[in-house]
Structure 1
Amino acid sequence: MSVEIAALSGDALVAALPDLARLRIAVFRDFPYLYDGSLEYEQSYLKSYHDNSKAVLVAAIDAGTIVGAATGMPLADHGDAGQLHGLAQPIEHVFYCAESVLLPEYRGQGIGHAFFDKREAFARQLGFKTSAFCGVIRAADHPMRPADYRPLDSFWHKRGYAPLPGVLARFTWTDVGDAAQTTKDLQFWSRAL
């Protein structure tokens, strides 16, 4: 496969948001997120990327189709900032790598590293010294955990990220198969740039 990796901003980023919404719904439906998403919610959630010159969307493009995407922006600009609890440093000093979604058939080819490389380079250009993201916490014995599931912790550690003890984000969404939303804790990970 020949996949192009492109960092998009401005109008190109906005044009890619429908693809990002589609990918978020598809990829986050799997464990560990189990997100039963909707386009209506996605349109609302992704509004913070419109008209934000400090936002980036890194797209993985195969034959003209976006097959993966990763986003980033200053944490202070992101709607997720209000869900974060326990962070010692000011949010204005943190570049937030929000989602990173890639269709399964494209995994294991180095695209995840390229997503981080491009976002971290963008953050450095803006003068940020810290990069961070959140990952959902699920019980090891969760009934929907696939037998072959491998957490991404080792990948994140290799990238230089470490979990910040006690620093969590709390989000509410409906899990696949559930009738109502429930609150989930997400671990905050960070690294110096």
Structure 2
Amino acid sequence: MVILRCLLLTTFGTLVACAGPIPTASVASGSPPLAGARVAQAVAIMAPASGSLVSGRLILTPEGDGVRIRGDIGGLAPDSVHGFHVHEKGDCSAADASSAGGHFNPAGQPHGRAGHGAHHAGDIDNLIANRNGVAHVDVHVAGVSLGGGEANDVLGRALIVHAVPDDYTSQPAGNAGARIACGVIRQP
């Protein structure tokens, strides 16, 4: 199956240009890129889950030995703290985001805090919302890649914001509560 990438002039309903076929694997939900195909940037559009109003947009870029995640997440309670993780599946279809599966953990490590001993590859420090309920995200996640199809590749997986802080010790997921926002990591 092939999809054509086209630009439409919606005001007039006319076709302006078609760029040709693109493989459907690159547009399917949660599909990893072709083996060896690194990407320069990805995006995760964070949508509300579990009846929350939390949303945002995060940009992911390769950096050093991992991936940098930057952006803003709003709709949080003022001055609140929230667990934040990469989850194993790029599927945010369930109302409670349970379709994203557990924390991304290709090495089979116990849950913990990144940079402080054994931890899941998807374990990230808690997000802290400001007095306006916005968390400004700027974090480096070491030991993961963006594209390429290796075991530690986060492209096609999901980012999840949880209702309460991760305690970094409870197994298997830090007792971070409900999933209140979910976004699949995709090529823009």
**TM-score of the aligned structures, taking structure 1 as reference length:** 0.30
Larger strand proportion of the pair = 2
Indicate the structure (1 or 2) with the bigger Cα radius of gyration: 2
**TM-score of the aligned structures, taking structure 2 as reference length:** 0.30
